[in-house]
Structure 1
Amino acid sequence: MLENFIITASSSIIKFLLKLDLDLFLTASQLKHVIAFISAMVLRGYDGKVSAIAELSSHRHRTSVGHFLSKSPWKEKLVMESLKEHVIKRIRKLSETTGNPIYVIIDDTISEKTVPSSKAKCPTEKCGFHNSRLKGKTVYGQQMVTVMLRCGNTVLPYTIVLYDKNNMSKIKIAEEVIKNLPFPVNKGYVLCDSWYSCKALFEASAERRYTYIGALKTNRVIYPKGHERLGIKLHAFAKTLTQEDVSLVTARKHEYYVYTYKGKLNDLEEATIILSCPKNDIFNEKALKAFISLDNTLDTLDILNHYVYRWPIEIFFRERKRHLGLDEYQVRSESAINKYFVLLMLTYTYWGLEVSLDFLNFSKGIKSARKKVQQSKVAWIHEQSKAGVPLEQIFQALKIA
């Protein structure tokens, strides 16, 4: 009997989904929908339109695909938990085998949407106005907190949480994720930008035996010599420094002038804080950056080199908007959006673990993944031909009759 979808039973996508035990949570029909989504995202990119998914499945109409996202009663939370378990096991195994530390990278991004008309009957849920640090202005859309795990050059998405300011703050979301992590096998580091550098995450990281290293806002107060009683803000303190106070270091092929302070922060008794400026912008207040480490045994260069390990999350945001439809998805309900997030993470993890050996080069990985899908399609045609299926019937299945 002719199969209703063109991915063969030997497909690496199916093998990947079975590794996650998704057949325990999804029906055969639902699994076929998941396969179709991953195939479409990999083969042609995802533009947010369900019609792109329907084109790859001869027996599924666009409305059927939309129903799978918006109304089908599959348990996206169970699928997400299964994926999280798979990712953390993989990262911990790598850490155990290689001795490399585990990095927990936390950040957020905004999926911009059009501000709905006051007469709109079904506006997209969980939208609001958010401050975009990237654009330096307020934008309308959905904000999501993303956590990625890294060991060596293996970087995988761990969870995506849709931010709802009426339910839970971004700090609280990050805190809950950290508190539910297992202890690191070797060393472990939580890496965040300045928005997340606060006492709650400092304490949550320490509780789970992770060292917190993050950027720090330059309006934070320190208590260096001469300012022990009232303290001084970092940007004001930087103005008191001279050429003799700073050192030139090279981190990841870039040169920086740095000053290292070890002492009290306004909500910590002891921390290591680094003030940094690019070599060509020394003492330029706009170029001033601050970083914090709660491991006071680390030297300045170690802290900076650890912090740059958070960069892949910026690549993840950029590439999932470019290839996986993060800014373009058209589903409106919170449930459908969360299901889309799960499918996005499954796709990204699939190409990372099953296809590409270069976790830091998404474009290269997506090309390899597309070859895999195309090879599966050719293999399916070959199997149908060997089984004696009429050519016209194969054409119909491929929608080229």
Structure 2
Amino acid sequence: MSHTVIVPDHSALRNYLLQQRLPLYYSKPVVAHIETYMAAATAKGFRGKVVDLAEYSNCHRTTLGHFLAEGKWDETVLQNKVKNESLRRVVQIANQTAEPLFVIHDDTISKKTKPSSQAQSPIEQTGFHHSHLEGKIVWGHQVQATVVQSSDTSLIHSIDLYDKTKTNPDGTPYTKIDHVCEMAATLPLPPHGGYVLVDSWFTGTRVIDSYASAGYHLIGGLKTNRIIYPQGIRISVQDFAAHIRKEDVRLVTVNGTSYWTYRYEGTLNDIENAAVLLCWPEQAFGVPKALRAFLCTDVSLDAETISTYYSKRWPIEIFFRQSKNNLGFDTYQVRSATAFIRLWALLAWTHLYCTTGLERPCPFGDGLRTVRKQVQLDRLQFVYDCGQNGIPFDVVRKQFKLA
């Protein structure tokens, strides 16, 4: 064993990269850096910082920083592989189980510290955005993500920056709705029905029409000031709800929680026909602030099925939480747009590996623990092999950046 080139052998990670044919697209150093990221990202305490990557590489942190910001490699290869593999998996599951395919869209804020006006190199493309989680305006990156799901399997499909400065070919601002509509055209025809699950921001005719063309119905949150036409009378959802009596609703239980629901089917502004659910928690019927409304373009579904299908939107919230808590989605400090977009591509790739790249598909948390344990064992095996081959302790210590 050489004293000058010694690195822990993460054979499971490397085998996955070979199975996915990454050496056909990237040079050996790039593949090695991707392996380094996967090993570092699955370790406890990973923050998405370059110094964290350096702990799992024999390269200096400046080399890894250059790899992210200026390296000659195409991150869209990883992005497309994540998209293709996630869709292949869920379509396969939908065929096997004869269950619908769900496409889930949402956005989140990767919060950053507002830079001083004197800062010479602040993080690019940050800005002020409204955080639904914190209920206020915060500084950072606004990120759109898509998760695809069938049966009990949900997989990350894409992570994209929402850039307020981007425009359409006609000069109009490029919106989050434009992005979601464009994605509809890239999806396969669902083998046993498909639904796009969104919050009230995306519940509109453009998204409905785009997904209808792709073969999907929409189930989405609905603002309570939206206009409906019961018996031909024009009235907002919230005003109509004030006239609903206890005998008009039925109790629906979804994931162990019960809701009083009223189902309206008919016309909305710009929507010819759809089902609208008005829902209250079991102990808050008639409370205006407790009212929630949902729209479904598949009018053949009953209230319980609509509610159950919409609850499948939760995995994208879990993905955001997992990525921020474990994969450094909130704490990265790279400054260039190229660098953090590449970090997101690597994050999605690692998340997909933890859910689909092991012996059998599993939830991310289970997969993360398995990969983390394997990486730790690889490092211990490395230390043991160094001792067996007579490599001096100082050499090993330098390898682990402990010198």
Sort the TM-score into its range (normalised by shorter chain): over 0.9
Q: 3-state SS of the aligned residue for 2:133?
A: coil
Q: Secondary structure at the match of 2:102?
A: strand
Give the equivalent residue in structure 1 for 2:17.
Answer: 17
Could you say what secondary structure the match of 1:315 adopts? helix
User: Against the structure 1 CA distance between its residues 163 and 366, is the aligned structure 2 distance closer, same or farther, given a 3 Å change threshold?
Assistant: same
User: Match for residue 107 of structure 2?
Assistant: 108
- Using the size of structure 1 for normalisation, the TM-score is 0.93
Match of 1:6 among 3, 8, 13: 8
* C-alpha deviation, 1:113, in angstroms: 1.3
- Range moving further from structure 2, 140-149 or 23-32: 23-32
* Deviation of the 1:27 alpha carbon: 1.0
Q: Which residue of 2 aligns with 1:32?
A: 32
CA distance in 1, matches of 2:195, 2:273: 18
Q: Note closer, same or farther for the CA distance 1:242–1:114 as it changes in structure 2 (3 Å cut).
A: same
Q: Is the 2:7–2:382 contact (alpha carbons within 8 Å) kept by the matching residues of 1?
A: no
In the aligned structure 2, how far is the partner of 1:194 from the partner of 1:295?
17
AA partner of residue 377 (structure 1): R
Q: Which residue of 2 aligns with 1:192?
A: 198
- Counterparts of 1:271 and 1:247 in 2: how far apart (Å)? 19
Map 1:136-155 → 2, pairs under 5 A: 136-155=135-154
Q: Classify the secondary structure of the residue corresponding to 1:318.
A: helix
Q: Is the 8 A contact 2:259 2:282 kept in 1?
A: yes
Structure 2: which amino acid aligns with 1:87?
Answer: S
Question: Mapping of 1:1-400 within 5 angstroms?
Answer: 1-2=1-2, 4-8=6-10, 11-57=11-57, 59-167=58-166, 168-225=174-231, 227=233, 231-355=234-358, 359-360=362-363, 362-381=364-383, 388=389, 390=391, 392=393, 393-394=395-396, 396-399=398-401
2: CA distance, partners of 1:217 / 1:236: 12
Partner SS for 1:30:
helix
Distance change (3 Å), C-alpha of 1:89 and 1:382: farther
Say which SS state the counterpart of residue 53 (structure 2) adopts.
helix
RMSD in angstroms over aligned alpha carbons?
1.9
Rounded to whole Å, the distance in 2 between the matches of 1:91 and 1:226 is 41
Structure 1 residue 382, shift from structure 2 partner:
5.6
- The answer to whether the 8 Å contact 1:153/1:359 transfers is no
**Once the 2 structures are TM-superposed, how far is the Cα of residue 250 of structure 1 from its aligned partner?**
1.1
Runs of 4+ displaced beyond 6 Å: none
Distance in 2 (alpha carbons) for counterparts of 1:397 and 1:134: 41
Query: Structure 1 191/336 Cα, relative in aligned 2: closer, same or farther at 3 Å?
Result: same
Amino acid aligned to 2:220 = G
User: Cα distance, 1:116 vs. partner?
Assistant: 1.8
Q: Deviations over 1:302-323 (max 9, x none)?
A: 0000111110111111111111
Q: Which runs of 5+ in 2 are unaligned?
A: 167-173
**Secondary structure of the corresponding residue to residue 43 of structure 1:** coil
Structure 1 spans left out of the alignment, 5+ residues:
none
Equivalent-residue separation in structure 2 for 1:123 and 1:382 (angstroms): 44
Query: 1:75-128, CA deviations, whole angstroms, 9 ceiling, x for partnerless residues?
Result: 011221122112211221222222222111100000111222222222211111
Deviations 1:288-341 (A, max 9, x none): 111111111011100000111110111111111111111111011111111000
Give how far 1:356 is off.
8.4
* Cα drift, residue 390 of structure 1: 3.0
Could you say if the C-alpha distance between residues 83 and 358 of structure 1 is closer, same or farther in structure 2, counting changes exceeding 3 Å? closer
Give the Cα–Cα distance (whole angstroms) in 2 for the partners of residues 20 and 212 of structure 1: 33
Task: Look up the match of 2:170.
Answer: none
Q: How big is the shift at 1:366?
A: 2.1
Amino acid at match of 2:181: E
* 8 A contact 1:40–1:53 mirrored in 2: yes
**Letter aligned with residue 53 of structure 2:** I
Indicate how the Cα distance of structure 1 residues 62 and 137 shifts in structure 2: closer, same or farther if over 3 A, else same. Answer: same
Displacement after TM superposition at 1:74 (Å): 1.0
Letter in 1 for 2:152: N
CA shift in 2, pair 1:308/1:54, >3 Å: same
- Tell whether the 8 Å contact from 2:82 to 2:156 is kept in structure 1 after alignment: no
Determine the C-alpha separation between the residues in 1 that align with 2:397 and 2:214: 56
